[in-house]
Amino acid sequence: MSTIESLGDLRGKRVLVRSDLNVPLDGARITDDGRVRASVPTIRALSEAGARVVVTAHLGRPKGEPDPAYSLAPVAARLGELLGAEVAFATDTVGPSATETVAGLEDGQVAVLENVRFNAGETAKEDEIRSAFASELAKLADAFVSDGFGVVHRKQASVYDVALQLPSAMGGLVAAEVDVLQRLTEEPERPYVVVLGGSKVSDKLGVIDNLLSKADALLIGGGMVFTFLKAQGHEVGKSLLEDDQLQTCRDYLRRADETGVEIVLPTDIVVDTAFPGGDREPQPQVVAADAIPADALGLDIGPDSAAAFAEKVRGARTVFWNGPMGVFETAAFAEGTRAVAQALTEVDGLSVVGGGDSAAAVRTLGFDEAAFGHISTGGGASLEYLEGKELPGIAVLDRNPDRNPL
């Protein structure tokens, strides 16, 4: 698969980079700039090669038209701070501002286009509509670099269609992500432990289904655990529950037993009678996983479970973690997530943090990101790869008919 080097001499060339700058905002303030920082190495490499770098990205889910709440202006400013250089900002994506901004770039300079999802063509289901919008983007550049791993599982204009219209390559971030995912799926070092959390079993069905034949152990926490506990015949009080997935969970438990894969569920749970929020102080209580009170809801795995999960993780040679163990944003329900994160920093092998919520937990809980083997920028893309699905934004880079260097 082509990398930036395969594009040849980029000096003076306009390079359109699809980055993932979809960061959380509080007004105009970025509350977690992890994805912006992850985008910097590829943008800097292109700039230092003398390219005129044109960054396109999305933020949030606007309805195919401009919405000031989703403007990339604050992100462009933060990118400039991280690059240590001025970053020009176009107030549209393919309109007069974009054309003028790109035309004004000199070698090594960087511009950010306004939110690509302000254009309905970006996410259109119809191939011809997406392709037409991609053509407008392609007019702004001589080459395309795909570096937004968080969107490569989407068949969207700035991810997929533009790669069919320009000489294309993957950026360093996408290349690193693919390398790690291949290590997780193609002959991983063993023991191979997968830790899954988050709210819903339905979000992880494909991953569980595929990894039951690859992993040595699956540790299940977060809100999704209660459907598993209910499937075992335990009452879960007011905890999050997906009744329509009970039989699926029973099938997973049966398959794991038949194939020798260990599914580890919590033995104790931290509960409260209300979800944290407002002025009410949390009132956490630790109960056995098979004795959750009828008026309580589970909000974290308990201390015994946290210790057991951590021991399993530390003993592995390969670990993939996706999804927090509880409501980590509240201190009273963060210890399960903290224990798993700490154990990942102690793995003698490959430790991978996958998913926005898990990455956010790492930063919120004060861990040094360098202590982990890899922190993925794309939760959905990582999960779909681990499900065995083809990622359109990756596959298209092999289908581009024009492989000639610039």
Per-residue model confidence as pLDDT tens digits over 241-251? 999 999 999 99
What confidence category does residue 372 fall into, taking pLDDT thresholds of 50, 70 and 90? very high
Contact present, 249 and 231 (Cβ < 8 Å)? yes
Average pLDDT score over residue span 300-320: 98
Average pLDDT score over residue span 357-373: 91
60, 64, 67, 69: CA torsion to nearest 10: -10
What confidence category does residue 200 fall into, taking pLDDT thresholds of 50, 70 and 90? confident
Is 21 known as a binding-site position? yes
What confidence category does residue 204 fall into, taking pLDDT thresholds of 50, 70 and 90? confident
The pTM is what?
Answer: 0.85
Is 107 known as a binding-site position? no
pLDDT on residue 270: 98
What share of the chain in percent tops pLDDT 70?
98
Is 239 known as a binding-site position? no
Is 234 known as a binding-site position? no
pLDDT on residue 406: 58
pLDDT on residue 382: 87
Tokens of 91: 């107030």
pLDDT on residue 149: 94
Is 117 known as a binding-site position? yes
In this predicted structure, the answer to whether residue 122 has a pLDDT above a threshold of 90 is yes
Active site residues: 35, 200, 356, 380
Per-residue model confidence as pLDDT tens digits over 149-188? 999 999 999 999 999 999 999 999 999 999 999 999 888 9
Per-residue model confidence as pLDDT tens digits over 292-309? 999 999 999 999 999 999
317/284 Cα distance (integer angstroms): 34
Q: Which amino acid is at 120?
A: A
pLDDT on residue 402: 52
pLDDT on residue 403: 47
Half-sphere CA count of 94, side-chain side, radius 13 A:
22
344/373 Cα distance (integer angstroms): 9
Contact present, 90 and 101 (Cβ < 8 Å)? yes
Lowest mean pLDDT among 25-39, 123-137, 388-402: 388-402
Is 357 known as a binding-site position? yes
Highest mean pLDDT (candidates 119-133, 207-221, 371-385): 119-133
In this predicted structure, the answer to whether residue 380 has a pLDDT above a threshold of 90 is no
In this predicted structure, the answer to whether residue 117 has a pLDDT above a threshold of 80 is yes
Tokens of 285: 């209580």
Helix locations, 123-261, DSSP H: 127-138, 172-185, 205-211, 225-231, 246-259
Residues constituting the chain: 406
pLDDT on residue 379: 77
Is 22 known as a binding-site position? yes
Rounded to 5 degrees, φ, ψ at 112 are -115, 130
Average pLDDT score over residue span 311-326: 96
Lowest mean pLDDT among 12-21, 136-145, 358-367: 358-367
Is 60 known as a binding-site position? yes
DSSP 8-state code for residue 280: B
Average pLDDT score over residue span 47-74: 97
In this predicted structure, the answer to whether residue 400 has a pLDDT above a threshold of 60 is no
24/28 Cα distance (integer angstroms): 10
pLDDT on residue 341: 97
Enumerate long-range contacts of 122-130, CB under 8 Å, 24 or more apart. 122/58, 122/64, 122/156, 122/157, 122/158, 123/64, 123/154, 123/156, 123/157, 124/157, 127/161, 130/155, 130/156, 130/157, 130/160, 130/161
Tokens of 367: 């861990």
Is 37 known as a binding-site position? no
